[in-house]
Structure 1
């Protein structure tokens, strides 16, 4: 009888551990990008990088000096993702922006595959660790000038300065997680921008 009681005690102990084991489901890479996904299914994340003069001196073929990336997860029949990016280039004071829609990748080499608007090329996002991502830009992607008149039809590739281009060493960028408020310049939805500015939405 004592042996049976010992077995029952062991089984009870194992049963007590089962909920914890079940709740310890490994996070997907997409979840790791956001760090937190709201009960509604929406999620927001901001990443940035400023390259020092020393870094740029050692990478003369890199034209990007600053990069800001805002990634969102929205809900619908299926979750969908978007990416807005702002970049600064050497020798140009004003920033340029990129935006597009993304989907979860199934090739195992990237987390999100993103297509830039207006058939402007593609880029990919991978998780580096809990506080950083890798942004891969294999080829040139379409950028636009946010300071230009939105109704100006000439705000296309022909209107972008020749030196506002990704260089030979602008293929892979590591960006660090930062406060959502840092991404306000690339948050286009007014309601969301206001909520983030007021701290209603936090990362």
Structure 2
């Protein structure tokens, strides 16, 4: 499941989790005694050998793991909460198709369906993740596993038949029978999806405090600029100062940090040394801060929600700034449009003394 899909699903996920879990909080997984009598996590899996796959040419799935319990995938995020509850998801499926180097995964809410020994696992937008049940030997049978489980709704029409067949699972990818395994097996499998990078350290929301200033930036050398002739930026700063701290203290809540955090981007261009600044307001989303421009330059009016940048933690205390659209103050934001065409898309910024960001 992609990060964007998980973010878009959050609001729906909270509602669905509450409806399924009764009094359980939306960020706490409901543990089903049918799958986990001791109240802990439950793991089921199957790894198909070469002979089975040869006999089932229309089965793409070579490895399948089902985990019932707390989120085994998400790492500490930039959301105000720790991001580990995934809005009440309590069922997670990871499958690796033939030839793939790592699994794809999806999460949802699993609950008894009212039918004997049947458990329905649903996803956002009223989609089904799977119907599961235990057989007499304690094995988990996985049914109603759609071929397009990892694709967006309507993907067959959007992609066309040939591309859909390439991306979707096989016609024989259903009716899996999984053995119960140690929980550690599932956690190890899900860890293959997005291995943690210790060099990244804590999320920005933890490293950067709401009541403290910060300054990150970079001054590009002549050698760097010579090797990047399409880069417009000579120097760049991202910072929060006294004004931004006071604004958050007056209007924001520490528990919501970094939502509502204001910051400033200041730049100089390589030709003529033109200086420009732009204010942004940020929200924590998954592994990044999404920061939207708050004031149109030149007093012009335009849709600033499309003028956005993204901040992510970088290795060894750095900060990564992503500029997917023309949303940095290199030009009038209301005149710029579309994707960034210059070489000013991604910046690796170092921590600097606050004096380096003084306006």
Distance 1:30 1:183 in 2: 20
For residues 109-129 of structure 1, give each alpha carbon's deviation from its aligned partner in whole angstroms, at most 9, with x where no partner exists. x2x110012433000000103
**Higher relative contact order (CA closer than 8 Å, sequence separation 6+):** 1
Partner of 2:274, secondary structure, is coil
Q: How does 1:143-154 map to 2 (within 5 A)?
A: 143=329
Question: How big is the shift at 1:174?
Answer: 0.6
Distance 2:324 2:333 in 1: 21
Partner of 1:56, secondary structure, is helix
Q: Does 1:29 align with 2:215?
A: no
For residues 84-138 of structure 1, give each alpha carbon's deviation from its aligned partner in whole angstroms, at most 9, with x where no partner exists. 01111121223111111001113x3x2x110012433000000103431000000
5+ residue gaps in structure 1?
Answer: 1-25, 146-154, 161-165, 186-203
How many residue pairs end up in the alignment?
A: 137
In structure 2, the residue matched to 1:48 is 217
Question: How big is the shift at 1:156?
Answer: 7.4
Q: How does 1:135-150 map to 2 (within 5 A)?
A: 135-141=321-327, 143=329
Q: Does 1:134 align with 2:320?
A: yes
| RMSD over equivalenced CA pairs, Å | 2.8
Partner of 1:43, secondary structure, is coil
In structure 2, the residue matched to 1:115 is 292
Contact 2:263 2:279 in 1 (8 A): yes
Instruction: Rate the CA distance shift 1:94–1:61 in 2: closer, same or farther, 3 A.
Output: closer
For residues 33-65 of structure 1, give each alpha carbon's deviation from its aligned partner in whole angstroms, at most 9, with x where no partner exists. x2xx3xxx5122101101111101111111111
Q: 1:65 aligns with which of 228, 234, 237?
A: 234
Q: Does 1:172 align with 2:346?
A: yes
In structure 2, the residue matched to 1:82 is 262
Q: 1:94 aligns with which of 269, 274, 278?
A: 274
Contact 2:269 2:330 in 1 (8 A): no
Q: Does 1:124 align with 2:313?
A: no
Instruction: Rate the CA distance shift 1:129–1:62 in 2: closer, same or farther, 3 A.
Output: same
In structure 1, the residue matched to 2:285 is 105
In structure 1, the residue matched to 2:180 is none
Distance 2:341 2:330 in 1: 17
Instruction: Rate the CA distance shift 1:93–1:27 in 2: closer, same or farther, 3 A.
Output: closer
Contact 2:238 2:263 in 1 (8 A): yes
Instruction: Rate the CA distance shift 1:168–1:144 in 2: closer, same or farther, 3 A.
Output: closer
5+ residue gaps in structure 2?
Answer: 1-200, 297-302
In structure 1, the residue matched to 2:14 is none
Instruction: Rate the CA distance shift 1:142–1:136 in 2: closer, same or farther, 3 A.
Output: closer
Q: TM-score, normalised by structure 2?
A: 0.34
Distance 1:177 1:130 in 2: 10
